[in-house]
Amino acid sequence: MNEAPHLTFDLDAPGVSRGHLVVPGGADHEEFSLAVFSLNKGEGPRLLITGGNHGNELEGPLVARRLIEWLPKAQTSGRIIVLPVLNPLAVQAWSRNTPLDGLNLNRVFPGRADGSVTERIADAVSRVLLPNADIVFDLHSFGPTWDFPPAVITHPIADADLMAKTLAMAAAFKLPVTLLWQHDDTAGMFDSWAHSLGKVFVCAEFGGGTVSAEALAIYEAGVRNALVTLGLVEGKVEDVSFRNKRSSQTLETLISNELKSPAQGIFEPRCSVLDEVRPGDLIGILHSMDSVSAPSIDIRAPGPSIVLAIGSGAHVDRNEGVAILARPLHN
């Protein structure tokens, strides 16, 4: 029988602790460790911040490292645990999923102690870290195939009180978009599992393909705003500007708001994220590359919306998403 997952230090020790979360070995991989930082300043909110859930989204691990640098000087109350990389196997491979078992860590929560390596990571986080947090920020990014504004996201939650608390937490980042995202593939997500335990859990997302200094600055400012609002650090909430837009808005997107490619081809975006579009406005054009005489296909907005995400110029298959539209959320 393997050792149970555990921390190499005591979370209740006051002040800064640096150590590891030990993920037990199994048939497919030996025991390994995830780096963990903890800062215990006593009474106050208990927050867990995670990055590197998906291995090709590296803004989160970088912002987490920045937090570890300045939190010891800034945190005045409560407890913060930072785990910069949830899935080191996927990060090493710059891959969304774990190469070894092909699993998406964000679809296997709460994990299995006797499962494959991805399931054992989820099990360790679920059993050792999650009970020590009331609030979770999971730092993602939208990956290289989309342009997406800095956003904090939650999915619909049946418990109305938890839904309201979670949306308020998301809005506290003051990022350009707070998003309620209806999704048909939420089984096993880290946030769904934490929500089922009554915890406030939000995902930060930021797209654009490359990790830029500008993106990291916006991301870090958003997290800092949330920490100030929670009373964990002192300071003032600041406005975050993105592409000359300063206002933040709360949007909702439904499954039916994703526009799919009507055929195979190369997608040319013709609008930008946060553009307001009217019915019939051009979203993008799909080009056939088989023949220069084949007509290109216009993809147009079906209704009044805000462009939430737009596909980068890329080869797409028929029925692959090329844009996601949204509308203001009316509670």
| Cβ(152)–Cβ(203) below 8 Å | yes
Instruction: Map residue 65 onto helix, strand or coil.
Output: helix
Spatial distance between the Cα atoms of 197 and 53, rounded to a whole number of angstroms: 20
Of residues 148 and 242, the one with the C-beta less far from Zn ion: 148
Instruction: Map residue 291 onto helix, strand or coil.
Output: coil
Helices (H), 75-153: 88-92, 117-124
Q: Which stretch binds Zn ion (CB under 5 A): 50-58, 208-216, 229-237, 276-284?
A: 50-58
- Figure out which of the listed residues 40, 49, 52, 54 binds Zn ion, where binding follows CB under 5 A: 54
Residue with the closest Cβ to Zn ion? 140
Q: Draw the binding track, 195-224, toward Zn ion (x: CB under 5 A; -: no contact).
A: ------------------------------
Q: Draw the binding track, 140-159, toward Zn ion (x: CB under 5 A; -: no contact).
A: x-------------------
Q: Which single residue is written with the structure tokens 């929500």?
A: 195
Cis-peptide into 149, omega within 30 deg: no
Q: Which stretch binds Zn ion (CB under 5 A): 7-15, 46-54, 285-293, 307-315?
A: 46-54
Amino acid letter at 217? Answer: A
The DSSP 8-state label assigned to residue 222 in this structure reads H
Amino acid letter at 233? Answer: V
The DSSP 8-state label assigned to residue 44 in this structure reads S
The DSSP 8-state label assigned to residue 142 in this structure reads -
Of residues 54 and 199, the one with the C-beta less far from Zn ion: 54
Instruction: Name the residue among 144, 142, 168 with its Cα closest to residue 154.
Output: 168
- Minimum distance from residue 56 beta carbon to Zn ion (Å): 8
Element (H, E) at 196: helix 190-196
Of residues 53 and 248, the one with the C-beta less far from Zn ion: 53
- Minimum distance from residue 191 beta carbon to Zn ion (Å): 11
Of residues 54 and 120, the one with the C-beta less far from Zn ion: 54
| Cβ(114)–Cβ(122) below 8 Å | no
Spatial distance between the Cα atoms of 141 and 107, rounded to a whole number of angstroms: 16
- Minimum distance from residue 96 beta carbon to Zn ion (Å): 7
Of residues 57 and 252, the one with the C-beta less far from Zn ion: 57
Q: Which stretch binds Zn ion (CB under 5 A): 8-16, 56-64, 221-229, 234-242?
A: 56-64
Q: Which stretch binds Zn ion (CB under 5 A): 47-55, 66-74, 152-160, 265-273?
A: 47-55
- Minimum distance from residue 54 beta carbon to Zn ion (Å): 4
Of residues 123 and 191, the one with the C-beta less far from Zn ion: 191
| Residues making contact with Zn ion (CB under 5 A) | 54, 57, 140
